Amino acid sequence: MTVEHLTFRVAPGGALSGRIRVPGDKSISHRSIMFGSLADGTTHISGFLEGEDSLNTLRAFRAMGVHIDGPHDGNITIEGAGIDGLKAPTGDIYLGNSGTSMRLMSGLLAGQDFDSTLSGDTSLSRRPMARVTKPLAEMGARIDTAANGTAPLRIHGGSRLKAIDYVLPMASAQVKSCVLLAGLYADGTTCVTEPAPTRDHTERMLRGFGYDVRREGDRICLDGGGRLTATDVDVPADISSAAFFLVGASIAEGSDLVVEHVGMNPTRTGVIDILRLMGADLTVMNEREVGGEPVADIRVRGARLKGIRIPEELVPLAIDEFPVLFVAAASAEGETVLTGAEELRVKESDRIQVMADGLQVLRIDAEPTPDGMIIRGGAMRGGRVHAREDHRIAMAFSMAALVADGEIVIDDCANVNTSFPNYVGLASGVGLRIKAES
């Protein structure tokens, strides 16, 4: 099957039941490769997400001379090169569709002695990078971009970085992480102040690798010049991938599904809070901590959802889950209003416009706004929609078929492999009537 053209066909109806463990958390998988590569000693990783995005991060560090064994069924061993042990790659570092890889690595590479170039696919090459190159320039980095501030990023080595006290103009974990990672190589104390809480995997994992990271209120600080010490990382299941099944089981009458070993980082659980506000029947069970990250199993049963005004303070805690939350809103009784989510317009696609276009094809009253959407729930029709090469759009519309009156056909689904390899197999195993065709 070619990966260039992949279409999902999802027959209407059904329910989700049984037990499922979705792939490992993408954010944690990326960082485990980065920090294991920079650490002193041998790092073992289990539960690694073998999707294209995380594999591109792995290939990048191999290209810089790090010895990495695996992945074998999610298991990886990294012989750390040390904080100053990376070597110049022989060519451009290609990162495919991964914005996380590009933004975080731009911070790490800004402090190296060698030149490097970060490139990506057409989608990644359209995404804004000035949000990271601007603070890095303030730290003394020299980075050339395309004319409109996008990739490829040409990073000049040998810059002496100085610490900064940076106030994020928008709530972005990627920008926060980029500045902190550059701060590892900077003279002095680098601090980042965030306007709203964002995912804190970088801070947690740096501490897990023995690096001192301090938080006071909304300000996070670290000192440059320290070392990372190798450790074992057990990657929990990705709540962003679990979200498709949480919504699918919520909207499909008769569903009873357990999603296992889900990462419950409090900076990521906005999808659970929003679904509960809509009336979803979610039970969090078997709570525990794995490698500094909270983990639990989630049982979800079918429920009658109602429309809500989504609290803006939950938006950064659910930013990647909104495509499927829009499907929940389309299935709910009444009106759902999202504001404060302009960040969705610069993801792998313009997720506000692309989801609105698709929901309208399915005869749902979905009105895009500059920073969100107004959705009036109703009867979902079948139809043909376009994912616009955005993995989360593709999976969100597949779940809509559970409540549609006809088949939903979704074009441009190849990028699902960036975050969720074997999505079709796992989803069909718990009751989604889905087929993939080239």
| 3-class secondary-structure state, position 101 | helix
Best CA proximity match to 367, nearest among 401, 409, 405, 339: 339
> Given CA atoms 21, 396, 71, 4 in this order, what sign does their dihedral have?
positive
Residue 219 has which token pair? 């300000």
Q: Are 78 and 37 in contact (CB under 8 A)?
A: yes
Give the single-character DSSP code of 187: B
Q: Which of 25, 53, 297, 320 is catalytic?
A: 320
Strand partners, 288: 295
- The H or E element that residue 373 is part of is strand 372-376
320 is catalytic: yes
Strand partners, 45: 76, 233
DSSP string, 307-371: --B--GGGSGGGGGGHHHHHHHHHHSBSEEEE-S-GGGGGSSS-HHHHHHHHHHHTT-EEEEETT
- Report CA Rg, the chain: 21
- The H or E element that residue 282 is part of is strand 281-290
Cite the active site residues.
320
